[in-house]
Amino acid sequence: MRIAIDASPAAKTPRTGTEFYTLHLILALAQIDADNEYTLLLSEEVPEEFAGLPGNFHTLRIPQRWLWAQTRLARELRRLRPDVFFAPANVIPFLHPPRCVTTIHDVAFRLFPECYSAFVRWYLDLTTRFALRRAVKVIAVSHATKEDLVQMYDADPSRIEVIHSGVPAFSEAPPSSREIASTLSRLGITPPYLLFLGRLETKKNVARIVQAFLKLKDQGIPHQLVLGGSPGVGFAEMKALIDASAFAKDIILTGYVADEKDFLYAGADAFVFPSLYEGFGFPILEAAGHGTPVVTSRGSSLSEVAGEAAVLVDPLDVDQIADGISQVLSDRKLRDKLVNRGYERLRHFDWRTTAAEVLRVLKEVGSGRAGNLPT
């Protein structure tokens, strides 16, 4: 079978959820499938991670600055005539092969419109509607995302398959205390500390994390709060809250972190992630992989992904967030239980398992076994 994949998200930096998903799914497909022929279509430079792909994986770079998916990608797909086309980031060209599969990660642009420009909101809504109408199968990364698509777009639930994302295998040799200490020193962090990683924006609920931290500082905890991520919508208000507090010096803004991420997870006493909305929630699994207990939101996809491996709180209730953090810091038995459950939970999110499920869907669609094509 000839499978074409829009691999362009994997080439983008910095990588967040969609880019991370595309890259690791392709690498996992390469590990499990030696039978089918893959063409990976890119608009930018080929990621260095693709250098070791096997011979049945071919990269094709077709550069263009604007509207790449609707012009150059569409043209190349007409030339290639694959048995099935897979869009890991929900954008299907308007002129596309008859058999398409796409992954839709979330509908945050509908729930938090203030975090997106008017054009981006319009384009994401348009491409989501088109994908739901024209893809033979849609992959949702969580049951929460599937529910959102059915409720908000009246999507046909029989055409939506829930396939959870994976997380990379974690090293059996965790970062050394010397490596952690060196990273913390370079970033101006003094242990002990609480950690948040993600864009510093409204939908990530960072202001309430800060408010909960300030309550705990008033109660005497010795910790710093480390906020790792790029500024987003709502950052100015959050920064004003920090600057006006008596504990501003204990709140560390590192900016976007990539190379330091593993060390930050490993050194933290708790990972605090009470996001208002996530399509999946990679960070809570990354924290679990480093043996760091997690406090996260009840609802959205986060409780679905965390299971019993986190303290779940109402993300709108600052007192609950503070109490959840306090439980983790003060109860050693709870900490140990969360860490052990976190390691166990990771077994449910293996990229090879994800890739096998995605490949099953691609084969069903490519062979015509998935039913009638959308009209």
- Per-residue pLDDT at 75: 82
200, 302: one domain: yes
The CA distance from 110 to 117, in Å, is: 12
Q: How many separate domains does the chain show?
A: 2
Is there a domain that residue 222 lies in?
Answer: yes
68, 19: one domain: yes
Per-residue tokens: 40: 């990976």
- Per-residue pLDDT at 45: 82
Is there a domain that residue 171 lies in?
Answer: no
Is there a domain that residue 293 lies in?
Answer: yes
Domain harbouring 209, CATH code: 3.40.50.2000
Non-local (6+) Cβ contacts of 268 within 8 A are 193, 194, 195, 226, 287, 292
Q: How far is CA 6 from CA 87, 88, 173, in A?
A: 5, 7, 34
Residue 139 class from Cβ within 10 Å (0-12 exposed, 13-18 middle, 19+ buried)?
A: buried
The CA distance from 92 to 134, in Å, is: 8
Is there a domain that residue 375 lies in?
Answer: no
133, 220: one domain: no
The CA distance from 312 to 303, in Å, is: 7
Is there a domain that residue 373 lies in?
Answer: no
Per-residue pLDDT of the chain (375 residues; tens, 9 = 90+): 999 999 988 887 767 778 889 999 999 999 999 999 999 999 878 888 899 899 999 998 887 666 677 777 888 888 889 999 999 998 888 778 789 999 999 999 999 998 889 999 999 999 999 999 999 999 999 999 999 999 999 999 999 999 999 987 766 667 888 999 999 999 999 999 999 999 999 999 999 999 999 999 999 999 999 999 999 999 999 999 999 999 999 999 999 988 899 999 999 999 999 999 999 988 999 999 999 999 999 988 999 999 999 999 999 999 999 999 999 999 999 999 999 999 999 999 999 999 999 999 999 999 887 665 665
Model confidence, pTM = 0.89
8, 141: one domain: yes
- Per-residue pLDDT at 371: 64
72, 187: one domain: no
Q: How far is CA 135 from CA 94, 102, 354, in A?
A: 11, 7, 19
Q: Which amino acid is at 341?
A: R
143, 266: one domain: no
Non-local (6+) Cβ contacts of 134 within 8 A are 92, 96, 100, 374
- Per-residue pLDDT at 13: 74
25, 9: one domain: yes
Is there a domain that residue 372 lies in?
Answer: no
- Per-residue pLDDT at 62: 83
Compute the half-sphere exposure of residue 260: CA atoms within 13 Å on the CB side of its CA.
Answer: 23
Is there a domain that residue 52 lies in?
Answer: yes
Query: What size, in residues, is the chain?
Result: 375
79, 181: one domain: no
Scanning the structure block, which residue is given the tokens 């910095």? 14
Domain containing residue 94: 2-166+350-367
190, 232: one domain: yes
- Per-residue pLDDT at 314: 97
35, 117: one domain: yes
28, 123: one domain: yes
137, 14: one domain: yes
